[in-house]
Amino acid sequence: MTVTDARRVARRDKRRVILDAAAPIFGDEGYERASIDAIATAAGVSKPTIYSYFGGKEQLFRESVADSAVQQNAQVLEVIQRLDLSAQGWLASLRDLAMKLTECQRTPCAVFLARMIAAETARDPEVYRVVRVKAATPILEALAGRLAMLGNAGHLIVPDPALAARQFLALISAEIAELTEHGTRPVSDERVRAAVSAGVDTFLRAHAQASR
């Protein structure tokens, strides 16, 4: 490893340390009450180091929320990439994917993160834009790619994979917010499964081949 490479790795590692320290502090305190002093102490770095990497508290918050969303979405990406494309298994796999995506979105951490993003976006719209680019867009692109493959295999009609991906995600979650009262009320797995299945059925009516 060259000196330049070593410095690049060290910079990535220190950035990682700062983000790991910032996430729980922002989560516990919120943007307004969280302090750079507390984050610097937790990360074991100086305040100037944080400013050097992130420019200030506002950009650190944006990057921290986006980083948390990316970590939450790592499991989602794995689920999407495992979608079965075979003639025998694609339909059951698509339904299973819908349930797993919904389960990921219903975890306490995911619900909390979604609330924080919604609350802070009103203060700083850039929070939403950063999360969209770094976390949401890769999910949509991965799902669009798999749906396009199902189209190429003749299982679905997918003239616009990106739009189909958005429709799929919207339909499988259409009832979830109301059922769970935005994650504040427990709902049986059977009721969630029925709601998600109804969303998949609606998606299939729009996109499945007539011979299905």
Q: What is the mean pLDDT of the chain?
A: 89
**Per the structure block, which two tokens stand in for 125?**
């719209």
Cα(39)–Cα(209) distance, integer angstroms: 54
The DSSP bridge partners found for residue 208 are 156
Span of 6-10, 93-97, 138-142 with lowest mean pLDDT: 6-10
DSSP secondary structure letters along 141-180: HHHHHHHHHHHHTTSB--S-HHHHHHHHHHHHTTTHHHHH
Length of the chain (residues) = 212
Domains of the chain: 1-55 (1.10.10.60), 65-207 (1.10.357.10)
Mean pLDDT over 44-59 rounds to 95
Is the Cα dihedral 80, 164, 137, 106 positive or negative? negative
User: Over 60: is that where the pLDDT of 159 sits?
Assistant: yes
Reduced to 3 DSSP states, what percent helix, strand and coil does the chain have, rounded to the nearest 5?
Answer: 80, 0, 20
104's tokens: 């990921």
Instruction: Look at residue 103 in the predicted model and tell me its pLDDT.
Output: 87
pLDDT in tens, 64-108: 999 999 988 888 899 899 999 999 999 999 999 999 998 888 787
| pTM for this entry | 0.81
Question: Which residue, 200, 138, 192, is CA-closest to 169?
Answer: 200
Local structure of residue 35 (DSSP, 8 states): -
Residue 3's pLDDT is 40
pLDDT bucket at 11, cuts 50 / 70 / 90: low
Output 4 or 203, whichever has higher pLDDT. Answer: 203
Question: What pLDDT sits at residue 4?
Answer: 52
What is the per-residue pLDDT across 180-191, written as a single tens digit (0 to 9) for each? 877 778 888 899
CA distance 120 to 203: 32
51 contacts: CB under 8 Å, gap ≥ 6? 36
